[in-house]
């Protein structure tokens, strides 16, 4: 492609404005934003109004624009933008993890078909270059697992709860005021944001496409003072963890769930809005990556990194997809969990294979025991809205 990058940007919120700022302060890159498509042209922005447009076609059909940066929240609209841009022969940078989680297989095929680049480092783990590392360094079949804290918003909230003893609602409000969490925090605190990122990492780490509905995910919105007290008494912190693991040879499992984290675990030391990713392999043992996972500048820097890579004709090679296939997805595995509940009828929903610890109190009931993930998936819809909290303690 031309060394001169002429960029059309969709969206000028936290990430879009962050990109503009870091691009303005970056030297050595011949790139400029020539058009920005927004929904509200009257909103005040530190941006030349001449480059603003409300019409997506002003970017998608402009032959001068050779790079499209898709930075909007709406996953359905993002999908249409990315799909059309690829079909129009434009290179695309995206930060939309939900859109990717649902459409990544199709979009990979489109970039191959139209011989363009589609890069999306900013969609997973903010400033941590995890996708490119899985592509370039861990490009063999020796990988065993990728796990860690993938959502900076929930991690900020949990840090404030455990380190500063704030109430959950107060910590959430602080995260929203600082721009780490959205006004509707559901995706962050209920584990969906982590799930979408984990699906993307699974494609690059294991060459496997997994639909979001196949994965059990649980979040922290039901976290109570009693859960916090028990974890603290046992010497744990609680962190929202996403984990993809190779099990039983050619099987792969994904899981998103709060975890009781021990002091010797890497995740125990990851605080505030930072992310931490642990990579485990057959021979390279444990390697840990750490960096900011939320905010305008970390994500904007990741988008800029992708744009810089495009100046050198960079493309993901998807080596795992091409050369190391044959893996299958499974939820047939047993996990050790903590379950806090109020109503005994709710406990009856869970088919515990074994219970190692339990308490029935006046206002606090819990069990620690073994469940099969397949059984958890079967009751996923039934437990939504119930006053229960699940946390992960390990595999059996």
Q: Which residues contact 132 (CB under 8 A, 6 or more apart)?
A: 121, 309
Q: How far is CA 99 from the centre of its chain?
A: 12
Which residue, among 18, 24, 1, 204, has the nearest Cα to 91 in the 3D structure? 1
* Candidate list 97, 160, 197, 246, residue with the active-site label: 197
DSSP codes, 300-360: HHHHHHHHHHHTTT-----HHHHHS---EE----EEEEEEEES-HHHHTTS--SEEEEEEE
Q: Which residues contact 78 (CB under 8 A, 6 or more apart)?
A: 10, 70, 72, 94, 96, 99
Contact between 379 and 349 under an 8 Å Cβ cutoff? The reply is: yes
Q: Locate all alpha helices (DSSP H) within the chain, ordered by sequence.
A: 14-24, 57-60, 75-87, 97-113, 130-136, 152-163, 168-177, 186-189, 192-206, 225-233, 296-310, 319-323, 344-347, 373-378, 380-383
Q: For residues 368 and 346, what is the distance between their CA atoms, to the nearest angstrom?
A: 15
Contact between 351 and 371 under an 8 Å Cβ cutoff? The reply is: yes
Catalytic residue at 353? no
| Joined tokens for residue 285 | 């043992």
Q: Which residues are catalytic?
A: 197
């Amino acid at each position: 492609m031309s060394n001169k990058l002429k960029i059309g940007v969709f969206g000028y919120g936290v990430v879009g404005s962050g990109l503009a700022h870091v691009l303005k302060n970056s030297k050595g890159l011949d790139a400029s934003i020539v058009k920005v498509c927004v929904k509200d042209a009257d909103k005040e922005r530190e941006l030349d109004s001449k480059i603003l447009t409300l019409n997506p076609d002003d970017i998608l059909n402009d032959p001068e624009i050779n790079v499209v940066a898709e930075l909007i929240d709406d996953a359905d609209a993002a999908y249409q933008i990315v799909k059309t841009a690829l079909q129009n022969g434009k290179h695309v940078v995206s930060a939309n993890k939900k859109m990717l989680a649902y459409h990544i297989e199709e979009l990979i095929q489109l970039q191959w078909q139209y011989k363009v680049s589609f890069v999306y480092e900013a969609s997973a783990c903010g400033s941590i270059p995890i996708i490119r590392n899985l592509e370039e360094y861990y490009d063999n079949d020796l990988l065993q697992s990728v796990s860690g804290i993938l959502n900076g918003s929930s991690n900020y909230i949990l840090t404030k709860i455990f380190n500063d003893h704030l109430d959950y609602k107060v910590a959430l409000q602080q995260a929203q005021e600082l721009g780490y969490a959205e006004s509707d925090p559901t995706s962050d605190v209920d584990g969906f944001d982590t799930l979408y990122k984990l699906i993307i990492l699974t494609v690059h780490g294991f060459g496997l496409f997994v639909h979001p509905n196949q994965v059990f995910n649980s979040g922290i919105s039901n976290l109570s003072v009693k859960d916090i007290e028990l974890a603290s008494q046992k010497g744990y912190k609680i962190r929202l963890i996403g984990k993809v693991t190779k099990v039983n040879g050619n099987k792969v499992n994904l899981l998103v769930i709060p975890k009781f984290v021990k002091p010797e675990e890497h995740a125990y030391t990851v605080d505030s809005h930072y992310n931490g990713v642990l990579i485990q392999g057959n021979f390279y043992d444990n390697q840990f990556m750490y960096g900011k996972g939320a905010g305008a500048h970390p994500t904007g820097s990741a988008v800029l990194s992708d744009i810089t890579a495009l100046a050198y004709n960079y493309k993901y090679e998807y080596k795992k997809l091409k050369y190391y296939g044959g893996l299958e997805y499974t939820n047939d595995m047993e996990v050790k969990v903590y379950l806090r509940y109020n109503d005994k009828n709710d406990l009856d929903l869970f088919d515990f294979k074994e219970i190692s610890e339990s308490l029935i109190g006046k206002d606090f009931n819990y069990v620690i025991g073994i469940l099969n993930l397949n059984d958890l998936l079967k009751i996923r819809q039934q437990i939504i809205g119930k006053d229960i909290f699940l946390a992960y303690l390990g595999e059996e």
